[in-house]
Structure 1
């Protein structure tokens, strides 16, 4: 089995190399830096971005169907720029990183003592490609890192698909999920009923502070602009959106790599060791498995796990059984946002006067 795995990885790498060679032809498209919102604490700074050819993909305007299909294809058919130097300027500091074979760059360091980390504010700056010159000089892009409020009561870590964004993960052969993901714009996507109102309530503390939100999904980075636009259009709390690479770079993960969600959330927990979190997911994936495993590793940092029951599938029944055997972990499987709101009121996560005004379709 191990030899077969190595053979498949070798073949995939070769195919990726051939594909890149086919793409490596002169292009008139300009280069852009696609910056992803990072996060920071007194101890840690994390920031990610990507250097790509700019295909000028729009995410909010309505198009006729053929144009929408074309732009959807271009969103996934990216022309990344590997091996390029990226300079990151934050608070009068300069950091140097390089893009990997998929065009991604990552800054993951201990926070320098001289960086001004102000709770509740953003660390802002810009990224620059010193070796790539555009019409107006070196290519640049803005960057920002979220610093949680010192008055935060807790943090929220939320899945996206079918947790806050209707995606239809449990549809037959996931055909409906693929259709809405590929061909629907941010303005055409629907939020899970009641979740916008609930998250808005949870984002504010009783003393007027802000609880930080982190959105962790197995969706590809290719749809990052659409997801950020979706959060903005629906007035959901802003926060880092942490996705994963669907390219062949996934084949180069370290031997001990445990999967995108568990690695990403573990990193957040370690960045904020004194903060407790409420986790949201659904029964259409392995959110419950990931969250319960994290509860074993970080028992003091998880307040409650909410898993939305989507459909009576084999996996949903497995998840329900898993949660019933959860032991001392506060994990709950729910059928509606109203159930979450009621439980959150009882536990003091929201105001005792908070009542959802949005009526859910299944009630």
Structure 2
């Protein structure tokens, strides 16, 4: 039996498809001078396989954000992010490690591929250059469509990896309040958004490891749309948060995206992908209590016995949620995985130091970073 929700999802999906068809017809006539843009999302993998993804759009670059941007400038930038003119059916060429690979964009302009690095990768290197270009398409000015970027491969000497949520774990979003989330998303920029106190120093310590000379890869997973990718890149850079792949999701009105399980399904799929391309690494998982991170991470523990070193859950929810989280903590502990519900970053860092995950000498810096972020 069809429910009102099923009807709404079906209607909105049809409306989106019709709107895209109409937009594409108008777009070919009115926007012929709009430049092509390859948006690459940081690829990642292991010495045997690398996953690469991105999107092709026709739009002009956003202006560089500043802490002096007005309400209207931020709102305009948000509109430009979400009003994307995707380019379907074009061939994207990816040049990396001296080889070329191609993929064709889907109806939303996305492309993805898996490439195989050579056997002789430099042992102490994590980031490698990659070039993206469009075959048989040039800019309205006649120039080739090219974008240079980097991909990350976990070095063989990495001790562990880190998988972190973003919303209300790294970035203050108020994800438990729809109104606050909307206000921060639509009316802020990379300078006005706030990190949780001490996060940058803690993540730097995790990336460096217990002897501060290692490189432990960090992956950021969120159910936020890819449209916010540039904002997150700028935010991490401004706040000094270590660079790593950022795994978001498509914003559409498909039944899968609008279902109640979409958040859980997407994050779990991305975490599985990270684990699959790093079979040699154990992981530390970091999230918050506001949504489903404890449930998702407990499922990851069940599926991957022996691979999760620790789980840190930032307490951002009301007290009635705490008992649910404590039950999940007991489940994780049954698999010998410590899961902590922590009030702040310092408590998580102190526990990480006790496990040998970070250098204890970094704790004062994390405390200082927490104080500075609160000022």
- Whether TM-score is above 0.5 comes out as yes
How many angstroms does 1:9 deviate by?
5.4
Per the alignment, do residues 262 and 12 of structure 1 end up closer, same or farther by CA in structure 2, a change over 3 Å counting? Answer: same
Pair 1:229-2:240 in alignment: no
Deviation, 1:224, is 0.3
**SS of residue paired to 1:358:** helix
Which structure carries more helix by proportion?
A: 2
Aligned to 1:294: 300
**Could you tell which deviates more after superposition, 299-308 or 55-64?**
55-64
Shift of the 43–117 alpha-carbon distance from structure 1 to 2, 3 Å rule, reads: farther
Match of 1:131? 136
Tell me the distance in 2 between the aligned counterparts of 1:190 and 1:311.
18
Q: Secondary structure at the match of 1:353?
A: helix
Is 1:19 aligned to 2:19, yes or no?
Answer: yes
Q: Any unmatched runs of 5+ in structure 2?
A: none
Residues 133-175 of structure 1 show CA distances to partners (whole Å, capped at 9, x for unaligned) of 112522111132101232222111111111111111123xx21
Q: Which residue number in structure 2 is paired with residue 333 of structure 1?
A: 341
Structure 1 unaligned spans of 5+: none
1:241-320, aligned counterparts within 5 Å? 241-248=246-253, 251=256, 259-312=265-318, 314-320=320-326
Calculate the aligned-residue CA RMSD, in Å.
2.5
Matches within 5 A, 1:1-363: 1=1, 10-24=10-24, 25=26, 26=29, 27=31, 28-61=33-66, 62-109=68-115, 111=116, 113=118, 116=121, 118-134=123-139, 135-171=141-177, 174-205=178-209, 206=211, 208-248=213-253, 251=256, 259-312=265-318, 314-326=320-332, 327-328=334-335, 329-355=337-363, 356-359=367-370
Q: Take 1:357 and 1:185, find their aligned partners in 2: how far apart are those partners?
A: 25
The alignment of Structure 1 onto Structure 2 pairs a total of residues equal to 357
- Aligned equivalents of 1:318 and 1:358: distance in 2? 31
Cα distance change of structure 1 residues 95 and 283 upon mapping to structure 2, 3 Å threshold: same
Deviates more, 1:225-234 or 1:38-47: 38-47
276-285 or 296-305, which moves further after superposition? 296-305
Kindly tell me: are residues 5 and 175 of structure 1, through their superposed partners in 2, closer, same or farther at Cα, counting changes over 3 Å? Answer: closer
1:324: how far off?
3.2
1:21 shift after superposition: 2.3
Query: How big is the shift at 1:40?
Result: 2.2
